[in-house]
Amino acid sequence: MKRSCTIALVLMSWVLCARPARAFTLIDPNTWPGYLNPNTWPSALNPHNWPFTLIPIPEIATDPNSGVTYGLLLATLFTNDKNEITHILAPDINSNTTMGPGGTFRFLSYPSADEQWYVVAGFEQKIARHVDLDYAIGRTHQSDFSFEGHFFFERDPTERFFGIGNSSSEGNQSNFTTEQIYLEATLGYNITPRLQVALFERPRYLRIFNGAFESLPSISKQFPTVKGLGGGTEVLNQIQATYDTRDSIDIPTEGGYEMLYASIADRSFMSSVSYTRFGADVHHYFPVGRNVTLATHGYLQYMPAGNEAPFWAMARLGGEESLLMDQQTLRGYGAGRFVDNNLFDVNVELRSRVWERDIFNTHGILELAPFFDAGRVFHNPGGDFVTDLHPVGGMGFRGIAEPFVVGYVDVGWGGEGAAVFSGINYPF
């Protein structure tokens, strides 16, 4: 499942353009001749006085699954009277080496810590389409109830499958297109601002087709007997409990977040397959001085009744994002590199703020984060999950606009080479 990635370039460019220059440069107006320097213009024409910042950004993005994308993104950052970013408008036009030209519309809104929403929609000439809508309110758990609604549609022709199991071979790589549409709804009851119980529902329709990469065999030819090649439908029903002591939901520097969940998809509830799943998701943040945070994450998932689970419903390890039930972070491999019923994953990174500067009336932060990831998938619930881990090391680069916005670029090295990822929000 893909999320908005190029917003990371917006934040990184915005923070870096605050660096002082010793000579005439395009990124420091104070070095420009007087008639070009915005500081000498009338007040209404001075960009420093505008309630938004306009940033044209060239795009060069790589992904282990989708290849190289070139483009131009025109980002507009809107701020409030506290100089906090409240909205980001960031459409782009691009061209991918395999899927051809395309474009994406993005609008992200941050009214407050308690309420956030976004709209993302895009296409590429060859197969790829996506629409991603999200609205969340009650995020700080100050009221009795919290709610998040999420609509997602995609036709993603870059998906890879290497087989089921922790030892699946890179040489067995296959390609396919996932076409899916789902609606997620989470209704939480806040017993206290820290303790919540919630009901999660996700009806999903999914189909599998040939992918966009003709240099790779299709999944149906490479793995003709794997379960789920025809796709299916599921209605996932889940109960979850969380305990949250973080000092910030979006940019935490201390405290923790723990979740326990149990879910079921069953033919009795209009699913085409039946399985159960439960797990734990644990985050903890340790301040190390004023500008350094040790961020840790651990995840364990079991599917004890998963004998008929399709491959697309199993645990997926690989890629940059930690998405409950769908994918866990292993930044030296592409998304979904390892697949099986059960999964164990740990992530550690040292987030160090190395540069801070006011730019266009907003405070920007540049952060470096060396990281270490290790994880594995396994088939039997009683199996040993702490041996045969896949280790990954790397470096993360982050542009931060407190109190809500983080854009990142992470470069990782694993057993199959290097991988580069970008996105919004912290990976975990």
pLDDT tens digits along 60-89: 777 788 888 888 888 888 888 887 889 989
What per-residue confidence (pLDDT) applies to 135?
98
Kindly state whether residue 337 falls inside one of the protein's structural domains.
Answer: yes
Give me the mean pLDDT over the 378-402 stretch: 90
Among the listed residues 132, 179, 177, the one whose alpha carbon sits nearest the alpha carbon of residue 158: 177
Confidence class for position 359, pLDDT limits 50, 70, 90: low
- The per-residue pLDDT for range 180-208, each reduced to its tens digit, is 999 999 999 999 999 999 999 999 999 99
Kindly state whether residue 362 falls inside one of the protein's structural domains.
Answer: yes
| 3 state DSSP class of 34 | coil
Kindly state whether residue 369 falls inside one of the protein's structural domains.
Answer: yes
What per-residue confidence (pLDDT) applies to 26?
44
- pLDDT, mean over the chain: 88
Kindly state whether residue 391 falls inside one of the protein's structural domains.
Answer: yes
Helix (H) or strand (E) holding 139: none
Using CA atoms, how far apart are residues 422 and 60, in angstroms rounded to an integer?
A: 11
pLDDT at residue 20 greater than cutoff 60: no
What per-residue confidence (pLDDT) applies to 240?
98
Kindly state whether residue 84 falls inside one of the protein's structural domains.
Answer: no
Confidence class for position 11, pLDDT limits 50, 70, 90: low
Q: Are strands 338-340 and 342-359 parallel, antiparallel or unpaired?
A: unpaired
Kindly state whether residue 71 falls inside one of the protein's structural domains.
Answer: no
Helix (H) or strand (E) holding 140: none
Residues 3/105, Cβ–Cβ less than 8 Å: no
Confidence class for position 289, pLDDT limits 50, 70, 90: confident
- The per-residue pLDDT for range 210-224, each reduced to its tens digit, is 999 999 999 999 999
The CATH number given to whatever domain includes residue 138 is: 2.40.160.50
Residues 117/135, Cβ–Cβ less than 8 Å: yes
Enclosing domain of residue 183: 112-424
Kindly state whether residue 354 falls inside one of the protein's structural domains.
Answer: yes
Using CA atoms, how far apart are residues 394 and 371, in angstroms rounded to an integer?
A: 5
More confidently predicted of 336 and 12: 336
What per-residue confidence (pLDDT) applies to 402?
80
What per-residue confidence (pLDDT) applies to 10?
52
pLDDT at residue 415 greater than cutoff 90: yes
Query: Does the predicted TM-score (pTM) go above 0.95?
Result: no
Confidence class for position 21, pLDDT limits 50, 70, 90: very low
- The per-residue pLDDT for range 166-175, each reduced to its tens digit, is 999 999 999 9
Using CA atoms, how far apart are residues 101 and 376, in angstroms rounded to an integer?
A: 36
Residues 406/369, Cβ–Cβ less than 8 Å: no
What per-residue confidence (pLDDT) applies to 162?
98
Kindly state whether residue 1 falls inside one of the protein's structural domains.
Answer: no
Using CA atoms, how far apart are residues 239 and 291, in angstroms rounded to an integer?
A: 37
Burial class (CB in 10 A: 0-12, 13-18, 19+), 184: middle
Q: Give the chain's largest Cα–Cα span.
A: 73
How many domains is the chain built from? 1
- The per-residue pLDDT for range 88-118, each reduced to its tens digit, is 898 999 999 999 999 999 999 999 999 999 9
Give me the mean pLDDT over the 362-367 stretch: 83
